[in-house]
Copies of this chain bind each other. A is one copy, B any other.
Amino acid sequence: MKIIAFQGERGAFSEEAAYKLLGRNIRVLPRESFGAAFASAVHGQATHCLVPIENTLAGSVYENYDLLLKNRLHIAGEANLRIVHNLIAFPGTTLGNLRQVYSHPVALAQCSRFLARHRRVERIPFYDTAGSVKMLAERRLPGAAAIASRVAASAYGARVLMAHLEDHQENFTRFLLLSKGESVSPQANKVSIVFSTRNVPGALFKCLSVFALRDIDLQKMESRPLRGRPWEYFFYLDFAGNAREAKCRNALSHLREVTNFLRVLGCYESATR
């Protein structure tokens, strides 16, 4: 059975993403940090880890880009999860007597319109969305609710008082599934790579041209500093294709000619958008 490590408490959005991608027949392993989730997959306590890589409102999760480079795991899949914030409480708290809402500061900020309509309700920042439901499960504070995922409500036996508290519906998080072993399925249609350019004028343009010349569609580009070489960068690129196709293989061998460093992070099935 697959064992999926993720950062956060039981009921985290990462757990919801794991069920969406792999179904319910998995075991989950909550970890304290992203680094610990990666380590679980590297050292075999988990078969995979699942981590957020970008959110359509907040941007990339840069720490996980760095961890992708640091740990030799392969991207085996991805999931796009619509982030739905729910008002979650235990018996004793209703919309009528609501006085305090606990959640992660980012989740509180993403529900600013709901909170503006309920001015008497105090917003209390907490270390984690699902963790705030866990805390209420233990302390049962009357008049207190949490903002978290539907999976967090069911993980702790709480009720959803109201769904869709989020200001923006266009709030999606993209998660990557990572494993130690590499396996490329025939359905794989997306490739992620990381490279560093040579320090010559037009270097990045030359790198991107290997894709443009072959009509390969770029889907995402990110840069991170190259430690110890000030003002130089690693570039992370996602592009459409299967690494076994001639077109992709040629693009990658062409890219090797014009880069200092190149690693394929994975070839996997793209999540539907």
In the bound assembly, the distance between CA atoms of A172 and B209 in angstroms comes to 31
Contact with B along A158-175 (1 / 0, CB 8 A): 000000000010101000
Check A222–B223 contact: CB distance below 8 A: yes
Does A224 touch B at the CB level, under 8 Å? yes
A54 contacts which chain B residues (CB < 8 A)? 225
Q: List 15 A-B contacts (CB under 8 A).
A: A56-B230, A56-B231, A57-B225, A62-B62, A201-B215, A202-B217, A204-B208, A204-B221, A205-B205, A205-B208, A205-B209, A205-B211, A221-B221, A222-B223, A223-B223
**Minimum distance in angstroms from A222 CB to a CB of chain B:** 6
Check A218–B205 contact: CB distance below 8 A: yes
Question: A201's closest neighbor in chain B, by CB?
Answer: B217
Interface residue range, chain A: 35 or more
Does A24 touch B at the CB level, under 8 Å? no
8 Å CB interface, A193-236 against B: 201-202, 204-205, 208-209, 211-212, 215, 217-225, 227-231, 233
A220 contacts which chain B residues (CB < 8 A)? 223, 231, 233
Shortest beta-carbon contacts, A-B, top 4: A205-B212, A56-B230, A201-B217, A205-B208
A229 contacts which chain B residues (CB < 8 A)? 170
In the bound assembly, the distance between CA atoms of A59 and B229 in angstroms comes to 12
Question: A62's closest neighbor in chain B, by CB?
Answer: B59
Check A224–B59 contact: CB distance below 8 A: yes
In the bound assembly, the distance between CA atoms of A59 and B65 in angstroms comes to 11
Contact with B along A176-203 (1 / 0, CB 8 A): 0000000000000000000000000110
Check B228–A170 contact: CB distance below 8 A: yes
A64 contacts which chain B residues (CB < 8 A)? none
A211 contacts which chain B residues (CB < 8 A)? 205
A230 contacts which chain B residues (CB < 8 A)? 56, 170, 172, 273
Does A55 touch B at the CB level, under 8 Å? yes
Check A215–B231 contact: CB distance below 8 A: no
Does A58 touch B at the CB level, under 8 Å? yes
Check A225–B168 contact: CB distance below 8 A: no
In the bound assembly, the distance between CA atoms of A74 and B248 in angstroms comes to 42
